[in-house]
Amino acid sequence: MPKIVALHKLSQEEQNRITEAAQGYELVVGKYKELPSGTVSSADIVLGWTKDAQEEALQENSRVRWIQVWSAGVDKLPLQDFKARGIQLTNASGVHSIPITEHIFSLMLAFNRNLHRAIEGQSSHQWIKGGDFRELSGKTAVIIGVGHIGSAAAKAAQAFGMRTIGVRRSGKPDPYIDDMMTTDKLNDALAQGDYCINILPLTDETKGLFNKDRFAAMKKGAFFVNVGRGPSVVTSALVEALQSGHLAGAGLDVFEEEPLPADHPLWDMQQVIMTPHTAGDTVHYNERIMDIFIDNLKAYADEKPLPRNVIDYERAY
C-alpha cells in the first residue's frame, strides 16, 4: 500500500481530506523523531520537512518520490540531491500573498505615519509628535520579484494611488504592474522607486544582489523593504546607505543572520522598522497549504503531473 507521511501536526479534518483525496493510501502523522526508524524512507509522499529526515529520505532504498514543504523558500534544501533521486518538490508559494502584502504595507504606512515613534512614546509615556508625515498616493513602488506576492502587492499599491514598476526575469506583464522590466534593467527600475520592495527568493543569482551599487542606484530618500530573503542583501551596504541619509528608511523582516545580533547597529536606527521574520505568518496558513497539497495529491493519485508549485531545480524556485 502506498504511504503518505505527514511530519506536521494535522487536524482530523485535514487527515480526512487527505484520505478522501488518495483512497488506498496509508497516512502516518507524527514528528520525525517520534516515528519508528524507516517510516520516512518507506513513504511515497512526505508532507512537511525537517532536516533530521534528510538522510533517511535520500538513502538508497528510499521510496520517497514527492515532498511537499511547508515554506515558500527552498534555498536550504538539498535540491540537487532531490533531483538526482527523481524526487518532485512542491512548496507553499501562494499561501503568503495576503499576509506578506499586508505586512509590506504595514511597514510602509508605519514609517510614513511615524507609528513606530508613537509606539515608542506610548511605551515610555511620552507625547512624541515630531517628524515628517508622508503619503503613499502619487509615489512609485518598485517591486522586485513579481510572482503571487508581488502581484498582490502591486494591486494594493495601485489601490493607494501609487504607480507600480515590476522587475522579473521573464519580463512577462502583470495586470497590476504599470511598467514591467527584466532583471538586467534592475538599476533603471530602482532609480525610479520611492519604495523599493524586495520579494525575491534566494538563489545563486540573488545572493548579495542588493549591495553598495544597488543602494546607490536607488533614488535619494527612498524607503527599502525586504520581505524576500536576508542573504539577498549585503547588510553592511544597507547600513551605510541608511547612515549616509541616501535611504530615508527601511522596513526589514529578514536578515543575513537570524536572529539579528543584539549589538547590531540596525536595532538603534529610528528610520528602521524591523520584524522577526513574521511577514508570512497567518492563522490561515495550514488551510491554504492543504488546498495546494490536496490539488496535487488528487493529480498524483491519478498518475497525472502535479499542477501546482513544482520546484524547478535549475532555477531553485
Q: Which residue has the cell 547612515?
A: 243
**Amino acid present at 311:** I
> Would residue 277 show up in a list of annotated catalytic residues for this protein?
yes
Residue 137: phi and psi, rounded to 5, are -60, 130
Active-site hit among 85, 264, 277, 308: 277
> Would residue 60 show up in a list of annotated catalytic residues for this protein?
no
Structure-block grid coordinates of residue 220:
535619494
Cα 193 to chain centroid distance, Å, stands at: 21
Active-site hit among 134, 168, 214, 229: 229
Q: Say which residues have a Cβ less than 8 Å from residue 69's Cβ, sequence separation at least 6.
A: 48, 49, 77, 89, 90, 91, 92
Paired sense of beta strands 179-181 and 195-198, if any:
unpaired
> Would residue 26 show up in a list of annotated catalytic residues for this protein?
no
Active-site hit among 55, 135, 257, 258: 258
Q: Which of 136, 139, 198, 135 minimizes the C-alpha distance to 166?
A: 198
Residues assigned a catalytic role: 229, 258, 277
